Amino acid sequence: MSRYAAFVLLLSFGLVFRLSHGIEVNVTDGGKLCLYANLTLSFSVSYEIAEKESKTVVFEIPESASSKDSKCDDTSPILMLSFGEGHSWSMNFTTKDKSYQADVITFTYNLNDSSVFPDSLANGTVTVTAKPDITNVDMDTCYSCKSKDEIQASAEVNMTLSDVLIQAFVVDGSRSQNLTTCAADTPTPAPTPTPTPTHNVTNATTVAPTTNASTTAVPPTTPAPTLPTPATGNYSIKSGVNGTACLLANFGLRIGFKQNEKYQEVNFEPPSEASGSCGVNRSELVLVSNDITVKLTFANDTKKFRLQAVNVNISTSSGVFVQSNNNLSLWEATVGSSYMCNKEQNFTITPLLSFYTFSLHVQPFDVKNGLYSTAEECFLDSDLSFLVPIAVGVALSFLIILVLISYLIGRRKSRTGYQSV
């Protein structure tokens, strides 16, 4: 799930990091088991390093993680796992009627831990939360899910749960042998085939009329639906004491992506709010809508700004699609101005990911009084764009004339040769 430059780190939370194949937790109260968990958990975290770059580390929770801060309770128990230098992961549970559910996952990681986050530009701890899909678990049963569950906590953090066995409310100190199985582990029944209709023959001597043996009936095909123009979203990121805008953007976005050998396109529905940050040389715009997260990273070299990195995360019925590219040079304009392109543009972000933008206008730096500065237009909007088809037409005409002249000269030489014999 590499949003940025892929970098897989398998180092220690101490001296040596060992990939775990699951961690088993037994929480007791008064010597009796009150909460049980056995699961495999991995993290993918992206963070900033020097020179305007990002790095992604992937690691699993170690078997040595401590559960001492876990808590049993009749209504809201907590499974808490602490590991490394200031990292922790927890899952809160609540009861509902005759069942229970997991309410929230909280993950805290410490960027000061250089063994896990080398060359981190930021310091301190970061906390993210997510809503797990663990609901309607019958009381006195274990929740079981062997399938992988990809959970996006933020634009930078993704978690993967698998081989999960949890009983948040243990009765009489003994783990239940009854299971509540997740939907992902439940096989989908095969569709019932539609029976082929049969027709009774009333007269064996009756011959059905024939039309033309060489003609094959072709069933009508339904053309693939064409997506409408996506809605235009208007976004602004504010900073400072007065909350003035430091980044402005508006555009409609269509995303094309290939997942499991299948290409599809989807219109991005503008969210009501956007998040991000503004900096001197780097600004970010993060958009989350439905099951899609788009992160745009802008950079400037004091003279020009450009869209440098794109990160996309899409949750589909086939799984989680993640693609990123942090070596782009798109939407370039002079710092202090804005970039505009009203016409549709198509950008290949990665071999599996494409962007289609509509009515694009963006200014990630030097925004004054919350308003766009003078726009630098894209080539498609410029007055020179009409010259391209004219130039192509002139070139083709010249080529045709050149071929015709060559043909006439060759034919004349051939005729002269016959006359000289």
Q: Distance (Å, rounded) from C-alpha 197 to C-alpha 173?
A: 60
Q: Are residues 44 and 102 in the same domain?
A: yes
Q: Which two tokens stand for residue 182?
A: 């997740």
Question: For position 153, what pLDDT does the model report?
Answer: 82
Residues 6+ apart with CB under 8 A from 180: 136, 137, 138, 141, 142, 143, 144
Q: Which two tokens stand for residue 233?
A: 């979203």
The model's pLDDT over 186-205, given as tens digits with 9 standing for 90+, comes to 765 555 555 555 444 444 44
Q: Are residues 310 and 163 in the same domain?
A: no
Total domains, the chain: 2
> Is 108 in contact with 95 (CB distance < 8 Å)?
no
> Is 309 in contact with 54 (CB distance < 8 Å)?
yes
Residue 328 falls inside a structural domain:
yes
- What's the one-letter identity of residue 297? T
Question: For position 192, what pLDDT does the model report?
Answer: 57
> Is 175 in contact with 25 (CB distance < 8 Å)?
no
> Is 314 in contact with 291 (CB distance < 8 Å)?
yes
The model's pLDDT over 303-353, given as tens digits with 9 standing for 90+, comes to 999 999 999 999 988 889 999 999 999 999 999 999 999 999 999 999 999
DSSP state of 85: T
Last residue of one domain, picked from the residues 185, 212, 244: 185
Q: Which domain holds residue 370?
A: 232-377
Q: Which two tokens stand for residue 53?
A: 């770059």
- What's the one-letter identity of residue 193? P
Q: Distance (Å, rounded) from C-alpha 358 to C-alpha 377?
A: 13
Q: Are residues 311 and 162 in the same domain?
A: no
Beta pairing partners, 4: none
Average pLDDT, 10 consecutive residues per value, the chain (421 residues): 36 35 86 92 88 82 91 90 93 88 91 90 87 88 89 86 91 89 75 53 43 43 70 89 86 95 94 88 93 94 94 91 93 95 94 95 94 91 59 79 83 60 44
Q: Are residues 236 and 159 in the same domain?
A: no
Residues 6+ apart with CB under 8 A from 356: 253, 254, 255, 256, 265, 344, 345, 346, 347
- Cα 1 to Cα 10, 151, 153, 163, 302: the distances in Å are 15, 12, 13, 20, 32
Query: Under DSSP, is residue 403 helix (H, G, I), strand (E, B) or coil?
Result: helix
Question: For position 210, what pLDDT does the model report?
Answer: 43
Strands 87-96 and 99-110: antiparallel
Residue 161 falls inside a structural domain:
yes
Q: Distance (Å, rounded) from C-alpha 202 to C-alpha 34?
A: 74
Q: Are residues 178 and 238 in the same domain?
A: no
Q: Are residues 286 and 177 in the same domain?
A: no
Q: Are residues 301 and 358 in the same domain?
A: yes
Q: Are residues 280 and 154 in the same domain?
A: no
Question: For position 244, what pLDDT does the model report?
Answer: 87
> Is 64 in contact with 45 (CB distance < 8 Å)?
no
pTM here is 0.46
Q: Distance (Å, rounded) from C-alpha 340 to C-alpha 348?
A: 19
Q: Are residues 29 and 132 in the same domain?
A: yes
Residue 390 falls inside a structural domain:
no
Q: Are residues 246 and 356 in the same domain?
A: yes
Residue 211 falls inside a structural domain:
no
Residue 193 falls inside a structural domain:
no
Residue 407 falls inside a structural domain:
no
Residue 124 falls inside a structural domain:
yes
Residue 146 falls inside a structural domain:
yes
CA 237, distance to chain mean position in Å, is 21
Question: For position 421, what pLDDT does the model report?
Answer: 44
Q: Are residues 98 and 164 in the same domain?
A: yes
Question: For position 12, what pLDDT does the model report?
Answer: 33
- What's the one-letter identity of residue 238? K
Find the CATH number of the domain harbouring 102.
2.40.160.110
Q: Distance (Å, rounded) from C-alpha 355 to C-alpha 353?
A: 7
Query: Under DSSP, is residue 214 helix (H, G, I), strand (E, B) or coil?
Result: coil
Q: Are residues 240 and 178 in the same domain?
A: no
